[in-house]
Amino acid sequence: MGERPSSHLRVREQDDIAIVEFADRKILEELSIQEIGEELDQLVEAGSAKLLLNFRNVDHLSSAALGMLITLNKKVKEKHGVLKLSDINRQIFEVFKITRLDRVFDIHESADHALASF
């Protein structure tokens, strides 16, 4: 289980799954969203075909962040990988429901549930 240092993400490997936690409570700024997107792309390019994004620490998410997640989802699918999301708070989950992204993403109540479903 190696940890890679990052300004926005904490990544740890469990089995062949990259578990990603966000360091920022608010993912709103264009620049940080871009950096997060690049860091996640690097994970996928480096061969992490199974990604779990844990939103436990996140209180706010902008629409640009949702766009970045959609792009990430496409890249993961192109690599025949799997992307799962977990621990999304109620407010953010409402946004996923309104935008119908709850049907696009595989969303789990907890990281443990998500890990068990890989």
What is the pTM assigned to this prediction?
0.92
Where in the sequence is the domain holding 28, given as residue range(s)?
3-116
Within a 10 A sphere around the Cβ of 49, how many other Cβ atoms? 15
Total domains, the chain:
1
Asked whether residue 2 carries a pLDDT value surpassing 80, the answer given is no
What percent of the chain clears pLDDT 70, i.e. is strictly above it? 95
The DSSP secondary structure of 47-113, one letter per residue, reads: T--EEEEE-TT--EE-HHHHHHHHHHHHHHHHTT-EEEEE---HHHHHHHHHTTTTTTSEEESSHHH
* Token pair for 54: 């844990």
Write the CATH number for 49: 3.30.750.24
Mean pLDDT over 71-88 rounds to 97
* Token pair for 64: 């640009």
Which one, of 102, 35, 32, 83, lies nearest residue 61 by Cα?
32
pLDDT in tens, 16-55: 999 999 999 999 999 999 999 999 999 999 988 999 999 9
